[in-house]
């Protein structure tokens, strides 16, 4: 369900009841949440998480196939994993933030 649904519902309810309070109480939070989600760009972050998940899932599939004694070239595979990690790290906007939190919590200096 999209956040625009709240705005449309509030507008329709206010037009039926002729009460501006209904418009404000239903449409107001919808507008605020929609603006907040656009500012935070949640759709792109969700897409990047899905990309990272499917990519790592493919890597796990490769590892399973190698465990079933298929042909394995360790140097090529490790290079592939490094490239995939670099791509995901570069595309993920939150990586630095979580790395800083991790370093503060677990690496006492």
Per-residue pLDDT of 63-77, as tens digits, reads: 888 888 777 777 888
Of these ranges, 5-14, 32-41, 83-92, the one predicted with the greatest mean pLDDT is: 83-92
Which tens digit of pLDDT belongs to each residue from 27-48? 677 777 777 777 777 777 778 8
Here the tokens at position 59 are 């890597």
pLDDT band (50, 70, 90) for residue 55: confident
Q: Are 61 and 53 in contact (CB under 8 A)?
A: no
pTM: predicted TM-score of the whole model, two decimal places: 0.49
CA distance 47 to 92: 10
User: pLDDT at position 106, please?
Assistant: 80
């Amino acid at each position: 369900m999209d956040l625009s649904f709240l705005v449309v519902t509030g507008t329709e309810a206010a037009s039926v009841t002729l009460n501006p309070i209904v418009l404000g109480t239903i449409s107001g939070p919808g507008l605020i949440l929609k603006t907040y989600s656009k500012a935070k760009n949640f759709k792109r972050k969700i897409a990047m998480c899905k990309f990272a998940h499917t990519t790592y899932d493919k890597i796990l599939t490769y590892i399973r196939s190698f465990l079933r004694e298929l042909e394995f070239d360790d140097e090529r595979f490790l290079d592939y994993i490094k490239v995939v990690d670099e791509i995901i790290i570069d595309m993920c906007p939150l990586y630095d933030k979580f790395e800083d939190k991790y370093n503060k919590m677990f690496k006492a200096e």
